[in-house]
């Protein structure tokens, strides 16, 4: 039956809410589940301060609403299912969350997901400089739900496993402020990404299926790796203030296009019939190797390949295109011993100067 239950001391058993409103006073912890045993989207849970719940919240029948308190930290160690989250302060979904309505920031809060979560209404920073932390320490995880911003808000990826972001991040003209991929962490972006800046720590890896609109840098020089898995366009400088450790491009039957300058220690061409197009300056420290048949690399701006570029026995094509203006290409062009594979194409109506 419906009613209000207020718990002012720690609970070491399961709580069953039948159309009920459950309130935990500040500092109260629950060792057990808090389940809605009424109809789906009925009942509520309110945390008046800092609390930890060790079990699931909601269960098979989601609560109508879960509310957390300002200036507090709510920790949910099991899966949380609710129609609405009214969150204030910091919330840590260690066991993940399934939330139907939009999750909306109302201040500089921290929202942490430690397991696979589905947010049907997405997350909206709503003009607030909050933080979403995606922590894969416990294992690979996925966040589903668009992340909406207007030039503010941060996303931090940490943990040694892979956290997949399955929906769009930001939108055209509505970037997330910062995406930080911490050292030895892995993020996989399935859809397009819009951010003012993306920073990668040492050993951090970002994989992209969609397009990227962001300035991307290592936290320090030669930090972080980028992997492009499809037909990707990257709008924004890459490695301008701190070079990346490696960039993997030209996946099989796909084209990677950079609109702005690129600076990386290593450039990896990935698959057969893959292509990469650089529409601005390029700097690569290590030797660039063609790794499969029919790969193409096009350079349209000043290029410095300190380690040179080698067809390595593969029948690929290097195109130097001066259509936009005079260009300089620095880097030895090689093929394998006793091999005649590979094509060098020089095109465009301006001067192409090959310096090595």
User: What would the DSSP string read from start to end of 131-145?
Assistant: EEEEE-TTS-EEEES
Query: In this structure, how many other beta carbons lie within 10 angstroms of the beta carbon of residue 342?
Result: 21
- Calculate the CA 237 to chain-centre distance: 17
Q: Which ranges of the chain would DSSP assign to H, the alpha helix?
A: none
The closest alpha carbon to 63, from 121, 14, 123, 20, belongs to 20
Q: What is the pTM of this model?
A: 0.95
| Mean pLDDT on 1-25 | 90
pLDDT reading at 347 higher than 80: yes
Residue 76, beta-bridge partner list: 53, 93
Mean pLDDT of the chain: 95
What are the pLDDT digits (tens) for 113-137? Answer: 999 999 999 999 999 999 999 999 9
**Angular region, 138: left φ>0, alpha ψ -120 to 50, beta rest:** alpha
| Backbone Cα Rg of the chain | 25
For residue 248, pLDDT over 80 is answered with yes
Residue 173 contacts by C-beta under 8 Å, 6 or more apart in sequence? none
* Rounded Cα distance, 186 and 254, in Å: 22
How confident is the model at residue 337, as a pLDDT?
56
**Tokens representing residue 28 in the block:** 């109260």
Q: What is the pLDDT of residues 95-104, one digit of tens each?
A: 999 999 999 9
Mind listing the pLDDT tens digit for each residue in 178-236? 999 999 999 999 999 999 999 999 999 999 999 999 999 999 999 999 999 999 999 99
Number of other CB atoms surrounding residue 29 within 10 Å: 16
Q: Is the pLDDT of residue 1 over 60?
A: no
Question: Residue 6's pLDDT band (boundaries 50, 70, 90)?
Answer: very high
Beta pairing partners, 156? 133, 180
pLDDT digits (tens, 9 = 90+) for 187-202: 999 999 999 999 999 9
Question: Which conformational region is residue 325 in: left (phi greater than 0), alpha (psi within -120 to 50 degrees), or beta?
Answer: left
Q: Work out the average pLDDT over 336-354.
A: 84
Are 326 and 350 a contacting pair, CB within 8 Å?
Answer: yes
As a whole number of angstroms, the distance between CA 123 and CA 126 comes to: 9
């Amino acid at each position: 039956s419906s009613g209000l239950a207020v718990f002012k001391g720690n609970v070491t058993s399961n709580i069953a809410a039948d159309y009920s409103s459950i309130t935990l006073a500040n500092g109260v912890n629950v060792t057990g589940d808090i389940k809605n045993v009424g109809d789906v989207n009925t009942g509520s849970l309110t945390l008046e301060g800092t609390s930890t719940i060790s079990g699931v919240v909601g269960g098979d029948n989601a609560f109508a609403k879960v509310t957390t308190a300002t200036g507090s930290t709510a920790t949910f160690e099991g899966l949380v299912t609710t129609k609405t989250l009214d969150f204030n302060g910091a919330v840590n979904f260690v066991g993940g969350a399934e939330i139907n309505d939009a999750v909306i920031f109302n201040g500089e809060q921290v929202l942490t997901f430690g397991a696979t979560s589905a947010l049907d209404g997405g997350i909206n920073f709503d003009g607030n400089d909050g933080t979403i932390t995606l922590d894969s320490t416990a294992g690979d995880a996925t966040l589903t739900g668009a992340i909406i911003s207007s030039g503010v808000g941060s996303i931090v990826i940490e943990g040694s496993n892979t956290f997949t972001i399955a929906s769009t991040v930001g939108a055209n003209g509505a970037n997330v402020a910062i995406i930080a991929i911490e050292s030895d962490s892995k993020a996989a972006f399935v859809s397009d990404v819009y951010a003012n800046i993306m920073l990668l720590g040492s050993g951090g890896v970002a994989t992209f299926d969609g397009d990227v609109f962001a300035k991307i840098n290592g936290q320090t020089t030669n930090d972080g790796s980028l992997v492009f898995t499809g037909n990707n366009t990257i709008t924004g400088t890459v490695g301008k203030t701190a070079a990346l450790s490696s960039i993997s491009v030209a996946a099989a039957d796909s084209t990677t296009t950079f609109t702005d300058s690129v600076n990386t220690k290593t450039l990896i061409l990935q698959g057969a019939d893959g292509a990469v197009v650089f529409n601005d300056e390029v700097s690569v420290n290590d030797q660039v190797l063609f790794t499969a048949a029919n790969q193409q690399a096009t350079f349209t701006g000043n290029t410095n390949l300190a380690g040179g570029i080698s067809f390595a026995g593969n029948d690929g094509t290097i195109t130097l295109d001066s259509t936009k203006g005079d260009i300089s290409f620095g880097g030895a062009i090689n093929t394998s011993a006793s091999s005649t594979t590979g094509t060098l194409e020089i095109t465009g109506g301006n001067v192409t100067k090959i310096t090595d």
